[in-house]
Amino acid sequence: MSDIKSDNTENMNSNHLEPNYWRSFEAFYNDPAVIEAKGHEFKEGVTDDFSSTGMSNLSRRKFLALLGASAAIAGTACTDYRDKGEIVPYNIKPEEITVGKPNFYASTCTACANACGVLIKTREGRPIKVDGNPDHPVNKGKICAKGQANILNLYDPERLKNPLIGRNSTFNEISWKDADSDIINALASANGKEIVILTNPISSPTTLKVIEDFKSKYPTTKVYSYSLFNDDIKNAAWQKTFGSGNYPLVKWNEAKVIVALESDFLGVDGNKIENSRLFAEGRDVETKSFNRLYCIDSTLTITGNNADYRLRLRPEAQLEFVMSLMSELSGKGALNLSVNTAGYSLSGFATKYNLKKKVLDQLVKDLASNKGKAIVDAGSSLSENVHIAVNLLNEALGNSAMFRSDSAVTTLVENSSVQEIESLIQKMNDGNVAAAIHFDSNPVYHLAQDFGYKKALSKVGLVVTLSERENETTSLSKYVLPINHNFESWGDAKTRTGVISLQQPVIAPLNSTRQKESILLTWINGKSDSFNETLYHEYLMKYWETSIYPTLNSKLDFKRFWFGSLHDGIVLTNETVAASRTFNSGVTSLLSQSSTAKGFTLLIKENYNLADGSFSHNGWMHELPHPVSKMMWDNYAALSEKSCKDLGVKNNDVIEVKTGSRKISLPVFMQAGTADEVIIIESGFGRTNSGTVANDVGFNSNVLLSKSTDYSPWIYSGVEVTKTGDTYELASSQEHHAFDDPRIKDLHKIRNIIQEATVASYLKNPHIIKEKHHGELASVYDPHPYNDLKWGMAIDLNKCTGCGDCVVACDVENNIPVVGKDQVLKSREMQWLRIDRYYSGTADEPKVSIQPMLCQHCDQAPCENVCPVVATTHSPDGLNQMVYNRCVGTRYCSNNCPFKVRRFNFFNFRDHFRDSFQENPILALMHNPEVTVRSRGVMEKCTFCVQRISEGRADATHENRKLKGSDITTACQDSCGSNAIYFGDINDKESEFYKYRNHELGYYVLEELNIKPNVTYIAKLRNIHSEEA
Amino acid sequence: MKKSFLDFIFRNRLPVTLFVVVASFTLTYYGSRAERDGIGYTPDQPIAYSHKLHAGDMQIDCKYCHVGVEKSRHAMVPAVATCMNCHTVSRKDRPEIIKLAEYYRDGKPLQWKRIHKVPDYAYFNHSVHVNKGIDCTACHGEITHMEKVGQMNSLTMGSCLNCHRDAHAKFPELKDKIKPGPEYCSACHR
């Protein structure tokens, strides 16, 4: 990074017809260090970091003495060497359990507020994998990375195991009975003072009823709800524009033109699983229909990665942009409403913010010619007037047809306003709050520091925190009560009209934890001994029987209805979406222009993996590379290249970001495609008192939040940035496992790792990709005949959004360990599946290409030829097999793999990471028992989920039928929200997979090597205008 | 003098030593082979259960107790409750049944000594073998004659492959029904 060369004229030339792909700025500027590194299999220092000083200082004599002693002990002790241990069957076998066969239970995921339906796979009573519930109308059988990784939260060794009482900032264990009676006494003697329940948004109707009951028992109770990231502004703007309701759901699948303004609807805005599915439906190579996505935002996001056109714009300019757009459209007579856009002009705007006029012209043309079939969507972080302007624009273009009428988001409890929180803190400071109950919330970490919540908490007599694990808030509490995990809990969730999702436990509580609702119920009963395990279960059933079941007009009696519904995981109700909305024309008066932005703008963004910090103790989520920057284990200040130059900083330089009196210091990451003078910092890092994995990873962006905001709670103008002179090493995987060797000029173009075309050129010439193929190449090997079943995969790059959900699904399915930042820096991450992200074009306006890369199971696999111990071979059904017990760790195979998909266990990573954190016996319960847990010194790689194939084959034998390709799905395929992955039998001509395997857009990576991969990639088509192709 | 001493070493001493070393190694290697493979391992069990009585004399189907054998990779050792299906009424006065009933009453699991074990990295599947018509005795020996169960056959990879390669010779009665077993790695290792 030190010597970036400033000229790379060929790369800079955006009009170059064949895109020149690059992953990082270092590669873009042909940094010699990167070029040199690509020539080596492993990173420098990886194989020679064994120094004699780091070794044991045991003397040779002592070592031999110990060796002798241990041999003697072993010799005398191992008298019963034939002993093979015990088989311990059940005393009474549960009827539903067959040892070795999984059971699946429908439940609801509470990892985020979307409450998707899940199907939890359990083996012998232990949950080991989570998939989406296929019957759930919202997520339809898919679940995101957080939902997948939720399983690690269940088995987390650092979960609270017993109730704690804090005295003088030390915490001691206390019995539930004592804690409950103390708290009940304190609540009963509130004497008219307020009892506060502070919670994250509640989506369960029954939880709400519990809280209502709590309120009637303790009448001074008030409930406050907050969430760090929310759609409140968007919904408020909708209500102002149309009088009622929430911002509706969008028919992403039907929209022909999508304009995303700072909106990351494929990432963190809304339900990404549903949005990805619908968006991908609109980009289908089978029906040859493609939507067109314009992104106008401040930095690259998952949505921006998938954009056909993308423009960089600082967030405060969005209102001006929408108004200018309306002005241009109304000038063309394309608007149904008259909007006063005096003073705005699109061409003036383009000049002011240095945007490509040509792209803006195309946007105007597309919007005008697709009236009623386009949608403009503004991100939740933008201010209210932008949302109102966007509502106005959609209304004026007649785009309301693109809003869904079959389903809408419902809110059970409105979030508390800033004023409400302020008055709460005032009351706390005045000593008018008797008790503060943190209902699974972490306000000390989340709330803006200038609220002074931490200080106010010390004035409250009784602070109770219900939490799964220690965090910033528990350390300031009197009582810390451990609560059940998602998978140990009963519940229900209603986030949409017409469907209620049910949650059932799949394992008894692992520790002495309680369901959070039943803790409240115990307090409502007023007797500390009134708790029992079924308290909330019975309450839930009772509430459903008396309040929800009667409204459903079910023909079944309640018991049958209830067990049927639990089995399905969902209950469909006949609730409809309020269809009518009246446009409030007076709303245009709200479109006043806020002051123009100057200086740096700070945008605090929800991290894809950690969200608001609720996953920051989860190693898998830390190690899932950021979908854009490929960063692991850290957050950073993302800056554009120009901003970096202006500030005189480069990657890893630490800067101080200061807004008002609030400041943090964190390292810089030069992010391609970022708007100039914008700093993007992601949330969820910089935790304290939150456990071995979470503590002190990254930097806490929440300290920059303020209660008084003139734009939105996540956007701050006029931020001061100064270089501190320190450096901090960030661990990004973007140059790891690279196989596009730039030492040979233009080779990557010839190698066609990424192949792309435009929709227009494809429609004109369907063979545009196939034409580039080399035809039949000569081989020194005789082709092996595969007449029977042969496994293969097809990945549709038009549908893949690059989110990384599949990576975590693979982690969970295949027992992939967490390796830690020190190992990531050495390029030793263990994931079998990685998402390669290539940029092309210029640094400021890059086009992004995404490619999931996994073992290609080549018919003539180069890895197999070089293994000296035949530990990697080929199976008759086309799998490249890896036999761990045979591998001696020469790493020749990895060296010879052209795709760099093999992973070597340099350590027993379970032992190596954070002082044997993953060696904790409880984490062994999480492992998939059908997959070997690999130890040090062996190579591993994607197996095409061979354990699933074996299981499918055994089932087929049991049912006396032939195994079919469609019987098997891989873990990555199951998790893919946009259905981009297909798996099946290459020889089965009837199958869905066959179509993709032999698609005219299909190609193999590194085809010219003639190693015959079994993974087909469907070339990405960009839906750009034909004249630019 | 010197020459003849060397001569003695090379002509007599060395070959004899080598012979003794090689011969004793070979003898020990092959002689202990069966024991090292676990053949003949017949541990005492917490309940002196007789397969000869139940499966042999009374001809109770193996699958009555080993319920997983057709469905799962594990045959499954029966739960105490399965024994109690009969023994709540039959032979209640026998000492071993009294022991068994105590386990049942106390809800304690029975810790049977494990006899057959393949290494953790081999994923043997009972159901595919049984569903293909291969008899339990093919691996487990004449279980119906065993008062106390012991290991009869070697469970090494070599013995697996013996059958897999030569299935038709081993099971002439299944000649039309089965193909030779898979020989590729991921059939068992993954």
pLDDT digits (tens, 9 = 90+) for A707-732: 988 889 999 998 999 999 999 999 98
Say whether residue A676 is in contact with chain B using an 8 A CB cutoff. Answer: no
pLDDT value of position A243: 86
pLDDT in tens, A788-799: 999 999 999 999
Q: Does B90 touch chain A (CB under 8 A)?
A: no
Report the pLDDT value the prediction gives residue A19, as an integer from 0 to 100: 60
Q: State whether A89 and B79 contact (CB < 8 Å).
A: yes
Amino acid residing at A593: Q
Which residues on chain B are in Cβ contact (under 8 Å) with A875? 184-187
Q: Is the pLDDT of residue A957 over 70?
A: yes
Range 140-169 of B in CB contact (< 8 A) with A: none
Structure tokens at A287: 């029906």
Q: What is the reported pLDDT for A497?
A: 92
Contact present, A1010 and A984 (Cβ < 8 Å)? no
In tens, the pLDDT along B172-189 reads 999 888 889 999 999 999
Query: Chain B residue closest to A870 (CA)?
Result: B185
CB–CB contact A943 B186 (8 Å):
yes
In this predicted structure, the answer to whether residue A51 has a pLDDT above a threshold of 70 is: no
Question: pLDDT at residue B9 above 80?
Answer: yes
Structure tokens that stand for A790 in this block? 């042969």
User: What distance lies between CA A531 and its chain's CA centroid?
Assistant: 37
Window 17-76 of B: residues touching A by CB (8 A cutoff) are 35, 38, 41, 43, 67-68, 70-74, 76
Residue A12 pLDDT > 50: no
Q: What digits encode the pLDDT tens for the residues A880-938?
A: 999 999 999 999 999 999 999 999 999 999 989 988 899 999 999 999 999 999 999 99
Cβ–Cβ gap A101/B131 under 8 Å: no
Please write the tens of the pLDDT for every residue from A457-473.
999 989 999 999 999 99
**Which residues in chain A have their CB less than 8 angstroms from residue B127's CB?**
954, 957-958
| Separation between Cα atoms, residue A166 and residue A160, nearest integer Å | 14
Q: Examine the pLDDT at A62 and tell me if it is beyond 90.
A: no
pTM of the model: 0.91
- Asked if residue A138 has pLDDT above 90, the reply is yes
Q: Which of these, A242, A130, A226, lies nearest to A438 by C-alpha position?
A: A226
Domain ranges of chain B: 51-77+112-187
pLDDT value for A334: 84
pLDDT, position A151: 95
Q: What percent of chain A has pLDDT over 70?
A: 94
Instruction: Please tell me the predicted confidence (pLDDT) of residue A741.
Output: 58
Residue A658 contacts residue A722 (beta carbons within 8 Å): yes
Predicted local distance difference test score (pLDDT) of residue A594: 61
pLDDT value at residue A954: 94
Instruction: State pLDDT tens for residues A216-272.
Output: 999 999 999 999 999 999 999 999 999 888 899 999 999 999 999 999 999 999 999
pLDDT of A744 strictly over 60:
no
Note whether A146 and A111 are within 8 A (CB). yes
From the list B156, B154, B150, B155, the residue with the least C-alpha distance to B40 is: B150
From A85, A99, A947, residue closest to B114, measured CB to CB: A85
Assess contact for A820 and A916: CB atoms under 8 A: no
- Residue A2 pLDDT grade (very low, low, confident, very high; cuts 50, 70, 90): very low
CB contact under 8 A, A91 and B73: no
Q: Tell me the sheet residues that pair with A22.
A: A839
ipTM confidence score: 0.91
CA distance A655 to A665: 5
CA A890 – CA A868 distance, rounded (Å): 8
Identify all chain A residues contacting B114, using CB atoms and an 8 Å cutoff: 84-87
Q: What would the pLDDT profile of A360-404 be if each residue is shown by its tens digit? A: 999 999 999 999 999 999 999 999 999 999 999 999 999 989 999
Q: From residue A986, give the alpha-carbon distance in Å to each of A876, A965, A982, B169.
A: 13, 8, 11, 33
d(CA B81, CA B76): 13
Residue A962 is encoded by which pair of tokens?
Answer: 């032939």
Would the CB atoms of A93 and B81 count as touching at under 8 Å?
yes
Q: Quick one: what percent of chain A has pLDDT higher than 90?
A: 76
* pLDDT-based confidence at residue A590 (cuts at 50, 70, 90): confident
pLDDT at A491 over 60: yes
Q: How confident is the model at residue A54 (pLDDT cuts 50, 70, 90)?
A: low
Does position A1003 have pLDDT exceeding 50, yes or no?
A: yes
Alpha helix stretches (DSSP H) within A634-686: 641-647
**For the segment A610-644, what is each residue's pLDDT rounded down to a tens digit?**
999 999 999 999 999 999 999 999 999 999 999 99
d(CA A385, CA A326): 14
Residue B100, SS3 per DSSP: helix
Q: Is A662 helix (H, G, I), strand (E, B) or coil?
A: strand
Kindly list the residues from chain B whose CB atom is less than 8 angstroms away from the CB atom of residue A83.
43, 113
pLDDT of residue A10: 41
Contact B186 A91 (CB under 8 A): no
Domains of chain A in start order, with CATH, are 1-39 (no CATH), 83-227+409-581 (3.40.50.740), 232-402 (3.40.228.10), 589-731 (2.40.40.20), 757-778+786-1024 (3.30.70.20)
**pLDDT (tens digit, 9 = 90+) per residue, A667-687?**
999 999 999 999 999 999 999
Task: Name the residue type at position A376.
Answer: V
The answer to whether the Cβ–Cβ distance between A932 and B43 falls below 8 Å is no
Please give the mean pLDDT across all residues of chain A. Answer: 90
Position A836 pLDDT exceeds 50: yes
Given a cut of 60, whether residue A9 has pLDDT beyond it is: no
Which are the contacts of A342, defined by CB distance < 8 A and separation ≥ 6?
Answer: none
Q: Rounded CA gap, B66 and A117, in Å?
A: 36
A5 and B CB contact within 8 Å: no
Question: Which of B107, B123, B185 lies nearest to residue A873, judging by beta carbons?
Answer: B185
pLDDT of residue A335: 85
Q: What is the mean pLDDT of residues A729-756?
A: 71
